[in-house]
Amino acid sequence: MLIQWFPGHMAKTKRLITEHLKAVDLVAELLDARIPQSSANPMISELTAGKPRVVILNKADLADPEATKQWTAYYRAKGLQAIPLDSTKPQSKKVLIRAIHETAQPVIQKWLRRGLRNRPVRLMILGIPNVGKSTLINRLAGTKATRTANTPGHTRGKQWVRLQDGMDLLDTPGVLWPKFEDQTAAMRLAATGAIAGDVFDPDEIVPALMTTLAEVTPETLKEKYGIEDVHADPQLLIEAAGKRRGCLLPGGHVDYGRAQQAILFDFRNGRLGRITLDAVPEADA
């Protein structure tokens, strides 16, 4: 199966980003800490070239802590400000504000040399759908500044948010790229919920997820689902997980549809523990 998803509003978002880049001083890109590479939209790097950028590894509370340290070091080695974050926690605001001000210092110093003072730092937040942008913006603003939803594509249009920390924030809808050339990345985006559920086939995504989990965290499958042979056929892994989760039909047969949804729910909500699917590229580790 080839996953491709580029709704019309996302093409519009690309134009919106391009149009408003001149009005902002720096960019914050949100990545999913469980899949930093898969959730990094190459279009964002291209569009924001030349702008100071903060990389935020969001949902770090769901990711493997050691892997998050490695990814943070990876981005910092490339000269980018990078911070792990759990935007649902109150302390995340202080951490992010500090990172933004540090990244904005060259811009602020340039203003001071020109005699400009008290101008808000203008920030654009970018990221793929369902990576927690709206939750983060609400945390920064200290109020329900934008609508939030646990479905991709919920935020639409342009929203400026005035913050109390000397910043104006421009929110944009989540944007994926036109073609998923890396289908492994596409699978991982689907598994984390970045791709709408009606776009992918669970019969293909969930077996692929189980195969990946068997590679990166085999003990989790043994502990959570009672799976002895983690290298068995993925359908057998799903069957074992379905039995453990009580996804049964009359007669005791596994309801594979319910089992697949249970596995996705468990992974997305941290019931399997803190897991990172993407490893830092070996050449850059």
Domain boundary among 154, 171, 188: 171
- Of 133, 136, 147, 143, nearest to 164 by C-alpha is 143
Domain annotation covers residue 3: no
Domain annotation covers residue 284: no
Confidence (pLDDT) at 69: 97
Domain annotation covers residue 193: no
Q: Which domain holds residue 164?
A: 8-171
149 and 247 co-located in one domain: no
27 and 133 co-located in one domain: yes
Task: Report angle CA 241, 183, 195 to the nearest 5 degrees.
Answer: 70
How far is it, in rounded angstroms, from Cα 255 to Cα 132?
31
Domain annotation covers residue 189: no
Domain annotation covers residue 183: no
Full 3-state SS string of 24-66 = CCEEEEEEECCCCCCCCCHHHHHHCCCCCEEEEEECHHHCCHH
Domains: count for the chain: 2
Mean pLDDT of the residues in the chain: 84
Confidence (pLDDT) at 81: 92
237 and 159 co-located in one domain: no
Tokens linked to 22:
């001149």
How far is it, in rounded angstroms, from Cα 150 to Cα 130?
6
Domain annotation covers residue 222: yes
Domain annotation covers residue 53: yes
Pairing type for strands 159-162 and 167-171 reads antiparallel
140 and 62 co-located in one domain: yes
pLDDT in tens, 40-95: 877 777 888 888 999 999 999 999 999 999 999 999 999 899 999 998 888 888 88
pLDDT interval class at 136 (50, 70, 90): confident
